[in-house]
Amino acid sequence: MKRRKFIKYSLSTVLGSTIVAGFYTWQIEPFWLEFVYRQLPIKNLPNRLKGKTLMQISDVHVGNQFDYQFIIESFKRASALSPDIVVYTGDYMSYEGSNQFNQMTEVFKNAVHGQLGTYAILGNHDYGFGWKQNEVAQRVCQILNESRIQILRNEIADCYGLDIMGLDDYWAINFNPGAALGRYKKSKASLVLCHNPDVCDLNVWGNYEGWILSGHTHGGQCKPPFLKAPMLPVKNKNYDQGYIALGNNRHLYINRALGHLHQVRFNVRPEITVFTLV
């Protein structure tokens, strides 16, 4: 093959591959939902909860940046699994203005509910601009309450003998983990909902032992194969996605997010996690 023909062929191949990869990253993977199934071992779990399912949905990000009909369809698929407990771990909208409240209301008419209980915490985006607009957070809470979802703002809910402790967002204005963790009982089955996994490195946990379910990172949204995600909104870059052993009998799971800030994903599919309690 002559040099000029070889260069022309190579450039065409690279251009074609780039177009295909770009289309996949923009139009395929952002809507290719994965249900991730795994066990969730919890100490002192009541017999009535053994074998029950706990579904985690995180970072819905309803807004103008992508077609949120995908979220509605995903909620319907998740509801068809009839989860026993559902937990939402923050960032329900990408706030730009009051229109997001209407969008979120439309989406959460299809909210996934647990047969035994449905709980939620807030993320940084639920506090509006600069994560400091309490009026935005209050409106988000109102929509969730109207959707029959119990909000935990540094509070504990007892779900048939399982204490679910919900921490408010680390970056926002209502972060007070001691209000919930200070009521932790080592003799009871417990787990923590905490939007931002960087909280795991703070000196707030006392003698807590058990699971922490987080979101926030989106797994980086785009990740080269076999390498770490280059962009993560956390200080501790080990907190990207999936299971992470923390030591001190604490365990972290980071959900990759159902929605996205921008419609782009590569090697980090959107996720809904289905845990079996054991």
In this structure, are residues 68 and 37 in contact, taking their beta carbons and an 8 Å threshold?
no
| pLDDT for residue 20 | 61
In a domain, 213, yes or no: yes
Closest CA to 181 of 197, 194, 196: 194
- Domain total in the chain: 1
Residue at 108 is within a domain: yes
Beta carbons of 91 and 57 less than 8 angstroms apart: no
Q: Which domain holds residue 85?
A: 32-277
Asked whether residue 219 is domain-assigned, the answer is yes
Residues of the chain with pLDDT under 70: 1-21
CATH number at residue 135: 3.60.21.10
pLDDT for 102 equals: 97
Does any domain span residue 209? yes
Record the pTM. 0.92
Tell whether 150 is covered by a domain: yes
Q: Which amino acid is at 78?
A: A
Q: Is 95 a domain residue? A: yes
DSSP 3-state of 22: helix
Q: What is the pLDDT of residues 201-243, one digit of tens each?
A: 999 999 999 999 999 999 998 888 888 888 899 999 999 999 9
DSSP string computed for 166-212:
EPPPSSSS---THHHHTT--TTSEEEEE-S-GGGGGSTT-TT--EEE
Q: In this structure, is residue 21 part of a structural domain?
A: no
Alpha-carbon distance 155 to 133, whole Å?
21
Q: How far is it, in rounded angstroms, from Cα 273 to Cα 258?
A: 10
The Cα 105–Cα 137 span in angstroms is 14
